[in-house]
Structure 1
Amino acid sequence: MTRTPPTTVTRVRLWRWRRNPLRRHSDVVEAWIVLTTWVFAVLGGVLAGLAAAQSADAAFSARRAQVHAVAAVVTDDAARTQATGTGYDDGRVWVTVRWTDADGSVHTDRAKVPPGEPTGSRVTVWANRADRVVSAPVTGSAASLQSALTGVLVAPSAGAAVWCVGWMVRGRLIRRRLAEWDAEWRQIGPRWGNFSGGRG
């Protein structure tokens, strides 16, 4: 008994870009869709990441421009105030502080200071243009790091969005091609037996 040798299937790379009698126009269109999708996904992700990082940096700069540091005096005894000890607590306590502007106006507000600060001690707090105590702005390396992390998080999301759109377009093309194949088979299929019989 003669044993049939196994059939070896060789994968042809980039076959959609090569001229061959089996290549259809839709195959070329699909190849361009795949290439364009990857290019725009990479470029779109990089550009979106850079834009997000610049936007975050601009937001930090605008925040720094709206606040200023002031030397305030603690009017409460922070040593008598206990920290809440919750998971969101940074260990500092709320006390009343007072400071005087350059024009001589006196302001009072609540601020967080380290526990143990006695009454009359001087602390640095941040105030906005309405002379209300606000959280310290993000500056220096911390601002640069947060801007970079924002860009790193946005870049793959934007690239994935472009990739999904491209693959949706490709999916529609594939469904259209299958429909064309089905229509062609309905025309050729009934005549297939005649072709086989003619050879006999």
Structure 2
Amino acid sequence: MAGVPAVRGPRALLWRWWPNPLRRRSDKVEAWTLLATWAVTLLAGVLAGAATAQSVERSLARERAEWRAVPARLIERAPGSAAGSERVWAKVRWTAADGVAHEGQTRVEPGSAAGTPVTVWTDLEGLQVTRPATKAQASLRASLVGMLIGVSAAAVPLAGGRLLRGRLEQLRLDAWDAEWERVGPQWGWKTG
């Protein structure tokens, strides 16, 4: 077989689509299955990723629009000494827009005195929240979450297609076994 060149290029990749007397029906089914699997995988990944990224982006934009920085004051002296470089948790009190007083915790400089002004972030009800993501942070977060969801969504049809191809392969092997059971004994005198 040294004189027979190997088939390479697009024809080798698309052999199931070319007319060939040796091509079985299962080869055609597998070709269509493979094509459908990749199309659905690509479509599911892109659509799920894009929809998720837009949803996260809108949610973070809404937080930026609704959440407000509110002045608060330390209720008690913050733990630690001023020499410490890490910020520490301390109790604070603030008044919401509706006049209701709230308490919570925020990170402050160590050793800060009671009554020291600090800033906390609140939602529309005056409840404490984290600082909203900046526009750049929101874009990055939305992109990362979108990619993660897109890859996860693409994995489902990809796994389904792989299972279907495995089942087609098993059916093909079973058909070969059945055919050999029928034809094999006729060859016994030539191979034995």
Residue 162 of structure 1 corresponds to which residue in structure 2? 157
CA distance in 2, matches of 1:107, 1:52: 34
- Separation in structure 1 between the aligned mates of residue 151 and residue 89 of structure 2, nearest angstrom: 41
Q: Partner of 1:32 in structure 2?
A: 32
Aligned-pair identity in percent equals: 44
Which consecutive residues of structure 1, in runs of 5 or more, have no partner in the other structure? Answer: 84-89
For residues 30 and 151 of structure 2, what CA distance do their matches in structure 1 show? 23
Alignment of 1:2-151 (within 5 A): 6=2, 8=4, 10-11=6-7, 13=12, 14-61=14-61, 63-64=63-64, 67-78=67-78, 81-82=79-80, 91-151=86-146
CA contact (8 A) 2:96 2:126 kept: no
What amino acid is aligned across from residue 129 of structure 2 in structure 1?
V
**TM-score, normalized by length of structure 1?**
0.75
Greater mean deviation of Cα atoms: 181-190 or 54-63: 54-63
Question: Residue 118 of structure 1 aligns to a residue in which SS?
Answer: coil
1:95–1:113: 8 Å Cα contact kept in structure 2? Answer: yes
Superposed CA deviations along residues 30-59 of structure 1, whole A, max 9, x for unmatched, are 111111111221221111211221232244
1:63 Cα offset (Å): 4.5
Task: Please state whether the residue corresponding to 2:104 is helix, strand or coil.
Answer: strand
Q: TM-score, structure 2 length as denominator?
A: 0.78
Q: Which runs of 5+ in 2 are unaligned?
A: none
SS of residue in 2 equivalent to 1:97: strand
Question: Using a 3 Å threshold, how does the CA distance of structure 1 residues 173 and 72 change in structure 2: closer, same or farther?
Answer: same
Instruction: Provide the aligned length of Structure 1 versus Structure 2.
Output: 183
Alignment match, 1:186? 181
